[in-house]
Chain A
Amino acid sequence: MMETGFDVVLALMLLGVGGWSIIARNMMTAVIIFIAYGLLLSLAWVRLHAVDVSLTEAAIGSGATGLLMVIAAHKVAGDSQRVVRLSRGFHVLAAVFATLVAIGIASLAFVLPGAPVSLAAPVLERLPESGLGNPVAGVLFVYRSFDTLLEKVVLLLALIGVWALARDQDWGGVPGLRLFQHPHSVLMLLARTLPPIGFVFAIYMTWAGADVPGGAFQGGTVLAAMWILVMVAGVRRVPRVSSPLLRLAIVAGPLVFLAIGFLGFVAPGVFLAYPDGLAKPLIVVMEVALTLSIAVILGLLIAGPPRAKDSA
């Protein structure tokens, strides 16, 4: 009864906060509400027993995406002349379309065959072979590691896409992250005290991901947040995009992943298969390298393309 009550309240809050972010007049307000909406959504995922999804929603859906939107809203607000105001009719049309889509999706949930068909049973059945305890990690790094490998390549291309927006003369310079360097600000205090805690937390999340919810993506996001904090506060310099060390950190994850994939050709003879008994140690090595790369890439995606060298 208690739980049902919680679910009803959560569902109502989701609808309310979602609606609020749509009708908010000010763009920055809408973005902040959207971030809150993402956090509520991650609670909903916990209630659905999808803790891995919940962590990802909080870290990526709400955190990293929210931060990108804050930056975008800030840039647009500073350039109000170029903001295109859409007509009222367009808003109504969009609302009608979105409502129809929502109704369509909701009704499809009812047309799916009665008993949910799922691969959960076979996934769990063969999980012990790999030595992992978290079935989500099993899907990501054992059964469908090919998807995960290619997704990491997509992440590299996302960074290439952001970097493509730089001007030629600015190339090789420092990303145009806005800095707030005030020696006595709260930000400075946080930038000096939070990172050690965040660092330990990120390592824990990555390490624990093999057996309980967590993993490279969630750990990497926490690490990225810490990195951005110290860069924005000016505790650490923003690196140049052409820095060899930075490049190494970017490709470390995909590189180790590919190497372990090719190792499979040698033993046991299949690409992306693990040698007997070595599955878990190899996956942990891979996750550590991926955590580093994900953290650096997310940080660079938020930092944006390199800007004119003098403004850095």
Chain B
Amino acid sequence: MIPLQAIAETGTTPGGALLVLGIVMPAVALVALIGLGGRAARMIVAAALLFQLYVAVRVALLVAGSATPLAYVVGGFQPPLGITLRADGVSALMMVVSAVIFLGAASFAWKDFAQARGQPEARLSLIFWSALLAMASALNLLFTSTDLFNLYVGLELLTFAAIPVVAIKGGAETLRAALRYLLFAVFGSMLYLFGIVLIYGAYGTLAISAIAAQVQPNAATLAAAGFVTVGLLAKTALFPFHLWLPPAHAGAPAAGSAVLSALVVKGSLFLLMRLWFDTFPSLREPADMQLLAFLGALAVIIGSVTALRQPRLKLLVAYSTVAQIGYMFFVFTLVPKTAGDIVASAAWTGAWLQVVAHAFAKAGMFLAAGLVAEVLGHDRIRDLGGLSARAPLVVLTFAISGLSLMGLPPSGGFSAKFMLLAAALAEGHWVWATVIIAGGVLAGAYVFAVLARMMAAPTKAAELASIGRTRQLIALGLASVSVLMGLMPLHPIAFFEIGRFP
């Protein structure tokens, strides 16, 4: 075993306490919310999420300013006994993205989950806002922890916060979706836990950097990596583990779907990248990574084709998430074991841009789909006619989110897919390059199919409900971020490389 002093890497850095606050303050707010009751919920949530944004921006500025990661040794015990939090470039990026999307989703949900003045506590209010706070805490934990068991706690918290959001509407269909989600997620948790038990048995530590320093390609380690990977794939809904996602994401209220699709599936994906790039970098054999990319390719094709065949808008948007997640798995094969050249950097940047652009585009699109269902009283794609005249902002939101999903310029989705494509071609992976292009064409097909319906003449004179302008602007704002990202130069971004484990 390595002596303790050798394992202890960096201690707490200036500003490291921000990482603790990012995880703990939403938990403080959650305790206050349950203790004081749902009537105080919105004020508590607003304060917590604004603080969350402040913390995330400060972390990003500190990481960018020093070009080194932030770290905090919780409780003062260095690994392997204790737990260290650490924010590198991509942690800081994801903290900011999640803080912004949480604020957007919460503002969108502000009226829906309100609490009537002078009335007793409402169920919706308590459940929704509690779950939102817990998800915010869990995601920051997943983005910054460097301890495999601590990360497991983060996964559990995220799962148990996401399921009430799926189940919140009640009714047989959503409960079935929530139960299916629960079964997949618990299956994933068990595999992950079993994998890290093996790792602890083999290396006597759960700290990522300590494992990376001594990892050997022996049977126990490979089995552990396999278990952990399959467990995380189940939670990330990569094909063929995607079956739980569409009913769950389509069954939640719009603001919930936005957070689930934009952020929650990225939590386990983030951990998967931590695992293969930081914990077991030396185990990244091309053949195994090709398998992940192959599943990603199948997800792109099958997810998009299935999206095309959906009769309901929210299900179409959910299947589009299945497809868009697939792109993110090309990173495992496009960033080779011995990184460092410009092609690998382009693939790395492309994958993270895809994560971020999809987060904003999908948040905007799910909110737009929610508004569509509210205006028309249904979300049958066949009967969307006349929407462009009655709710032009909603149609615009759907269109510009679609731009990023298709990967048309200018959009973050374009930059992401272009860089992934360039890396795939430079490394001679013409199969993945073909899939990236085909996926864009298929996304174009399902986005335009919906837009064409929205622009068509009304099928029947239906009673239309009115929707507030504020919520339309929130959806549009989130979708616009995905387009504005396209104005950045097509260049590997140095910030994403800060503090990558060597």
Contact = CB atoms under 8 A, between A and B. Distances in A.
A153 B81 contact: no
A166 B123 contact: yes
Contacts of A104: 223
A126 B78 CA distance: 12
A160 B150 contact: no
A72 interface: no
A198 B35 CA distance: 27
A143 B37 CA distance: 33
Interface in B159-211: 160-161, 163-164, 167-168, 170, 175, 194, 198, 200-205
Interface string B14-46: 000100100110011011001111000000000
Given A112-B201, A119-B205, A146-B150, A168 B122 contact: yes
Interface in A145-192: 145-147, 149-151, 153-154, 156-158, 160-161, 163-168, 171-172
Contacts of A150: 23, 27, 141, 150, 153-154, 157
Contact of A144 (B20, B82, B198): B82
A147 B150 CA distance: 6
B27 A258 contact: yes
Interface residues of A, number: 54
A273 B77 CA distance: 9
A153 B25 CA distance: 12
A164 B153 contact: no
Contacts of B377: none
Contacts of A166: 123
Contact of B223 (A111, A143, A146, A163): A111
Nearest to B12: A270
Given A119-B204, A147-B150, A150-B157, A251 B74 contact: no
A105 B194 CA distance: 9
B491 to A, nearest CB: 38
B41 to A, nearest CB: 12
A171 B123 contact: yes
B83 A146 contact: yes
B80 A119 contact: yes
A163 B161 contact: no
A154 B158 CA distance: 9
Q: Which residue, of A153, A254, A261, A272, has the highest number of chain B Cβ atoms within 10 A?
A: A153
A251 B34 contact: yes
B126 interface: yes
Which one of A143, A150, A242, A254 has the highest number of Cβ atoms from chain B below 10 Å of its Cβ?
Answer: A150
A244 B219 CA distance: 54
Interface string A66-89: 000000000000000000000000
B52 interface: no
A220 B37 CA distance: 24
Contact of B34 (A122, A151, A167, A250): A250
Interface string B34-76: 1111000000000000000000000000000000000011111
Given A248-B35, A273-B76, A160 B130 contact: yes
A282 interface: no
A60 to B, nearest CB: 15
Given A247-B35, A258-B28, A117 B1 contact: yes
A113 interface: yes
Contacts of B194: 105
Contact of B157 (A145, A153, A164, A244): A153
Contacts of B220: 108, 111-113
A251 B31 contact: yes
Contacts of B157: 150, 153-154, 157
Given A117-B203, A271-B75, A123 B81 contact: yes
Given A112-B202, A118-B204, A154-B157, A164 B167 contact: yes
A248 B31 CA distance: 9
A268 B73 CA distance: 13
A117 B203 CA distance: 6
Interface string B121-159: 111101100110010010001000000011001101100
Contact of A163 (B27, B77, B123, B154): B123
Given A119-B205, A154-B156, A171 B122 contact: yes
A268 B75 CA distance: 10
A157 B164 CA distance: 9
A142 interface: yes
Contacts of B28: 258
Contacts of A154: 153, 156-157, 160
A153 B35 contact: no
A113 B218 contact: yes
Contacts of B168: 164
Contacts of A108: 198, 219-220, 223
Contact of B83 (A144, A255, A261): A144
B75 A270 contact: yes
- Greatest chain B CB density within 10 A among A151, A157, A265 is at A157
B77 A143 contact: yes
B489 interface: no
Interface string A237-279: 0000010100110110011001001001100101111000000
Nearest to A120: B204
Given A164-B164, A242-B37, 6 more contacts: A126-B81, A147-B150, A150-B153, A154-B153, A156-B31, A163-B126
Interface of A: 104-105, 108, 111-113, 116-119, 122-123, 126, 142-147, 149-151, 153-154, 156-158, 160-161, 163-168, 171-172, 242, 244, 247-248, 250-251, 254-255, 258, 261, 264-265, 268, 270-273
25 contacts: A105-B194, A111-B219, A144-B81, A144-B83, A146-B75, A146-B150, A150-B23, A154-B160, A156-B34, A157-B160, A161-B163, A163-B127, A166-B123, A171-B122, A171-B123, A247-B34, A247-B35, A250-B34, A254-B31, A258-B24, A258-B28, A268-B76, A270-B76, A271-B74, A273-B76
